[in-house]
Amino acid sequence: MITRLRELTQSGDYAYYVEIAHFMAGLPFPEHTARVRWIDGERQTRERWRHLVENRRSRLGTTR
């Protein structure tokens, strides 16, 4: 899914979708990925999205 998303956003439009997907999955960015400048910075944004996923999994009683 992330590979296809990356293909669809190569022009730079909606590139933040690729970053959010990586944040949510806890994955590092591959080389040559268009990067976004986050208002709160990448680290805080990554932590916020990851926290949302972990909370959701906790509520649903699921794991990775």
Average pLDDT of the chain to the nearest whole number: 87
The answer to whether 20 touches 50, Cβ cutoff 8 Å, is no
Which band of pLDDT confidence, cut at 50, 70 and 90, is reported for residue 18?
confident
Length of the chain, in residues: 64
Task: Give the pTM.
Answer: 0.75
Which band of pLDDT confidence, cut at 50, 70 and 90, is reported for residue 64?
low
Q: Tens digits of per-residue pLDDT, 22-42? A: 999 999 887 776 678 899 999
* CB neighbour class for 5 (10 Å; exposed up to 12, middle 13-18, buried from 19): middle
Helix axes 42-60, 15-25, angle to 10 degrees: 50
**pLDDT at residue 55 in the model:** 93
What dihedral do alpha carbons 25, 2, 22, 64 form, nearest 10°? 0
